[in-house]
Amino acid sequence: MRLAFFLLLNTLTSSLFGQAIVLHNAPNRPARSLAGNWHYIVDPYETGFRNHRNWTPFDEKEAATTTSAAPYYMHRKPAHRWERIEYDFDRSPTLSVPGDWNSQRPELLYYEGSLWYQTTFTHQPTPQRRLLLYFGAVNYRADVYVNGRKAGWHEGGYAPFCFDITPLAQAGVNTLIVRADNRRERERVPGLTTDWWNYGGITRDVLLVEVAQTFIADFFLQENPQKRGRAMGWVRLDGPQRLQRVTVSIPELGVQQSVRTDTNGYAAVELDISHAKRWYPERPKRYEVIWQAETDTLSDLIGFRIIETRGQDLLLNGKRLFLRGICLHEEVPTRMGRAYSREDAQLLLGWARELNCNFVRLAHYPHNEHMVRLADEMGLLVWCEVPVYWGIAYDNPATYAQAESQVRAMVQRDKNRAAVIIWSVANETPREDPERLRFLNNMTAVVRQLDPTRLVSAALDRTEDRTTNRIRITDPFAQTADVVSTNEYLGWYGSTPDRCRIVQWDLSEHSKPFLVSEFGADALLNYRADSLTIWTEDYQAWLYREQLDMLRKIPSWRGVTPWILADFRSPRRNLPGIQDGWNRKGLISSNGYRKQAWYVLKACYDDLARQWAYTIDD
């Protein structure tokens, strides 16, 4: 029943919150990048809306949503000497796209508000072809205009979105204007408070993609955990010719199936993959999967594997698995900016590999697609997460709509990556809020309907009894999650690391695998003293030794992702001479050097890799 409902649901999800069209598998489509230097105008007073001659004093969000009139900032030039126009994109400075604005201009380091981007592109319309405009992400809200007409808008700072601009584009030079707004608001996801930098702008790739009038918009193919050796999936077409014959094939395995799509452009598929070599971190085997419709052809590299739990064990393709992980932010510390390229992903994931990780937690939001695809290629298992974090307005329907739209977008984009094994719906959300459990359970139901092949978890709340030194996971969401995960900072917040020696973890009420999704301590590179001196590398290394000794004694312990791979920027962290706007919990410093705790964790992971080794038998 669960699989049937999953297949039905995917016929209905033709667009996400604020999106005009779904465009899956963008990296494997013929596309033209709009990367480059775009002109910009900083607009903290929303002059781009408010100076419009038809503007009336309603809320600017309503102004941003309307498509009846273009805003003031529309790349107009004076037609007469006496005409007054109080902006000029051509004379304005430029920012590199993709890229955040904070790291490119000192005066924009802390800027939160609206900023208008402008660029041009040339286009020659092709008969029977559609022109799509694809954004990897814009933080947080984007309003997009082509030649002075609104293409659409999108909310959510870490999700891709796409508009069909065929009716708006013209032969020759076209003007593209994007308003990006990164303001923190209570009803947004995340809300007003985070512990990472609020990078604003067009932070990921922008592509022009030409497709057929009816094209393959989306597809899914993964091994069915209930029918081993069988791949389950579906395909969906977008366009006027939705009744088509579609053939899916895996040439290396010599298998294919032809199906007829329905009036929604949808068809389910099932393939025999019993002879396939399964995907493992040690052997990340992927197969070219080709989808051929009557009007379009699309391919992707897909690996096949089964992730499941059995009691306290995690199983990958039936093998007992221990997750040697690390958390990381989508940030390149040495550049002090948002990571956005394949080269950035190679740097960060390469560091994880050198640490002997087989797992990464992409915190606290969906990272760019290069990260997930490269992990798939390199053989790194992945925890993907949405930014339901700290002060979320759980009782606000608009907030839930944002959270659900973001989790849908995350699953939709990364559902074919074998590396992804855990979808996380929250991080450090207080169990005391009565609306929070309903909020998270509803999100989990959506995730499981969209993808029944992976596990669901969250970084849960816990209870520590200082009298008995007993720690329990009392968060009621643990009953819903497939894996019990928690963030704990014994030895950093509220005690010194030797407290790890006396606490007792009581997980008897949870017959599930147990992960520690965070632990850590700040350390300033090259600040050395005795182990009891806080902020030193010595203290951080001591904490890692005590933590790892403690965790090894927990029978259900099946993985850990310490916080964090590298130092990252945070406006909450302002201790002069130590933090200076950085969270210093990284194993790698803000200038790329390894701290002592790196070597402590590396030695532990080398030992765990030997202890939990398994044989690949197919």
For 179, the token pair is: 């308003």
Residues 6+ apart with CB under 8 A from 43: 73, 113, 114, 115, 116, 179
Backbone angles phi and psi of 365, in degrees to 5 = -160, 160
Rounded to whole angstroms, the Cα distance separating 165 from 422 reads 35
Are 214 and 293 in contact by the 8 Å Cβ rule? The answer is yes
> Which CATH number applies to 309-611?
3.20.20.80
Rounded to whole angstroms, the Cα distance separating 509 from 604 reads 28
For 289, the token pair is: 């999967």
Q: Count of CB atoms within 10 A of residue 129's CB? A: 12
Do the bridges between strand 504-505 and strand 470-472 make them parallel or antiparallel, or are there none, so unpaired? parallel
Residues 6+ apart with CB under 8 A from 77: 85
Largest Cα separation within the chain, whole Å, is 81
DSSP string, 297-333: EEEEEE----EEEETTEEEETTEEE-EEEEEE-SEET
Query: If residue 215 lies in a helix (H) or strand (E), which one and from where to where?
Result: strand 215-223
Averaged pLDDT, groups of 10, the chain, 618 residues long? 41 40 94 98 91 51 55 89 93 98 97 98 94 97 95 95 96 97 95 94 98 98 96 97 98 97 98 97 98 98 98 97 98 91 97 98 97 98 96 94 96 98 95 90 97 97 91 95 97 95 95 97 97 97 98 97 97 96 97 97 98 92
Alpha helices (runs of H) in 385-513, residue ranges in sequence order: 397-414, 434-450
Q: Cis link prior to 98 (omega < 30° from 0)?
A: yes
Q: DSSP 3-state assignment of 407?
A: helix
Rounded to whole angstroms, the Cα distance separating 248 from 243 reads 16
Q: DSSP 3-state assignment of 588?
A: strand
Per-residue confidence (pLDDT) for residue 59, from 0 to 100: 45
Angle, in degrees to the nearest 10, between helices 537-551 and 596-611: 20
Q: Count of CB atoms within 10 A of residue 497's CB? A: 23
Report DSSP state, residue 30: -
Q: 26-211: same fold as 2-14+213-305?
A: no
Rounded to whole angstroms, the Cα distance separating 276 from 285 reads 9
Residue appearing with tokens 């002060």: 391
- Terminal alpha carbon distance of the chain: 31
Rounded to whole angstroms, the Cα distance separating 492 from 540 reads 9
- State pTM to two decimals: 0.93
Question: Which amino acid appears at position 203 of this protein?
Answer: T
Residues 6+ apart with CB under 8 A from 451: 6, 220, 222, 411, 415, 423
Q: Cis link prior to 158 (omega < 30° from 0)?
A: no
Residue burial 310-320, b: 16+ Cβ < 10 Å; e: rest? eebebebbebe
Q: Count of CB atoms within 10 A of residue 353's CB? A: 17
For 476, the token pair is: 């009621």
What's the helix, strand, coil split of the chain in %, to 5? 20, 30, 50
Per-residue confidence (pLDDT) for residue 199, from 0 to 100: 97
26-211 adopts what CATH topology? Jelly Rolls (2.60.120)
Per-residue confidence (pLDDT) for residue 5, from 0 to 100: 38
Three-state helix/strand/coil letters over 121-166 = EEECCCCCEEEEEEECCCECEEEEEECCEEEEEEECCCCCEEEECC
- Domains of the chain, by residue range, sit at 2-14+213-305, 26-211, 309-611
Query: If residue 543 lies in a helix (H) or strand (E), which one and from where to where?
Result: helix 537-551
Q: DSSP 3-state assignment of 2?
A: helix
Backbone angles phi and psi of 389, in degrees to 5 = -150, 130
DSSP string, 448-460: HHH-TTSEEEEEE
Per-residue confidence (pLDDT) for residue 66, from 0 to 100: 52
Any idea which architecture 2-14+213-305 has in CATH? Sandwich (2.60)
Per-residue confidence (pLDDT) for residue 456, from 0 to 100: 98
